[in-house]
Amino acid sequence: MKITVVGTGYVGLVSGACLADGGNEVLCLDLDAGKIKTLNDGGIPIYEPGLQEMVNRNHKAGRLAFTTDVAQAVAFGTVQFIAVGTPPAEDGSADLQHVLAAARNIGRHMRDYRVVVDKSTVPVGTADKVRAAIAEELKQRGTDIAYSVVSNPEFLKEGAAVEDFMRPDRIVVGSDDERATQIMRNLYAPFQRSHERVIVMDVHSAELTKYAANAMLATRISFMNELANLAERLGADIECVRRGIGADPRIGYHFLYPGVGYGGSCFPKDVQALMRTAGEAGMDLLILAAVEKANAAQKQVLGGKILKRFGADLKGLHFALWGLAFKPNTDDMREAPSRVLVAELLARGASITAYDPVAMPEARHIYQAESRVRFADSPMAALAGTDALAIVTEWKEFRSPDFQRIKQVLRTPAIFDGRNLYDPAEVRQNGLEYYPIGRL
């Protein structure tokens, strides 16, 4: 099948590469000439495990191509995926200007039947706006060409996106048109050979499903973070509580790990957008308002522990920071808890040496004007000349450190662990002060 993917960001590039790997011919369109040059030269503009190899393999095989030519892209694929960004507007709503611009381009250049697929995370009602935008362009052209608009939200986890696409747990298709529905079934058939994973529903329900999923996961995270903070006050261990409630099959263990709050490009944006959508429908989502408030507060918790230990004035103190990305296996620092901690430490007069296996190029860009933020080439190198260690991202290489070496290097043998990576008793037996989240 010939497929066009509009947008070569996180969702678009992963979707395009995986669809090509399934044997389809895929043309990815992006108006950013720099991105397209990078892709045609064999690079990729984002970090995602396994993606570079997949892009290169399919590009070399001729199944995956990249262009800035809108007319060429619209003419190429019977299926046109819209996978452009929907950044939050100032009022928290999703900004649909790029989605609707892509729809208008399709209406302006299409010559025969097209299935237009909303892959971007968009509010309920966006498919109606896409359909109207295409219809308006066709009307201005004085032509009548059949087309269908489908909602097919992505459920890709950063750091595991390729695996999620190739082996999905569900494929949601919002469609009111049987022809389009069958095309989508055929498209996804190679990705669900063991059993049926396509869930067909009406378009509005599909659009809401994506927001509901992310809002539910964000709620679990904030709930566990609040329980962890309570456990500290009550003298309980949140790890014991986690195991106790996770054993209930109605609850399960997923997303029950407390920490320093959620970040990234999805949860913060989608929670706000869903609240905005509810407001426009005359309803307040009280639980989500609390989730967002709790998450903002949780990002301050690790800094609060440092201030409690060292005092409010941190002038002259130098801290090591392990982890900058909002989660492992990505270089994404959007809404990352590390940025809140760095801002707090700098505001109090401290300086920082940071290490992250993947996100340091992005961090160097963010902090290029800040002389008190430095970077190291390894976790242990980041400790040199520092007063204490703060851990913000749970990268695997942080899981089994040499505690004795850490104790020898740090001026104050203290670890502030925002991800509960270690057994508190083991750390303290090695002569280190240990400040986790909700652990005894």
Active site residues: 266
Kindly give, in sequence order, each residue whose CB lies less than 8 Å from that of residue 233, ignoring residues fewer than 6 positions away: none
Please give the Cα distance from 188 to 204 (Å, whole number). Answer: 21
The Cα 407–Cα 379 span in angstroms is: 14
Give CA–CA dist 284/103, Å, rounded: 31
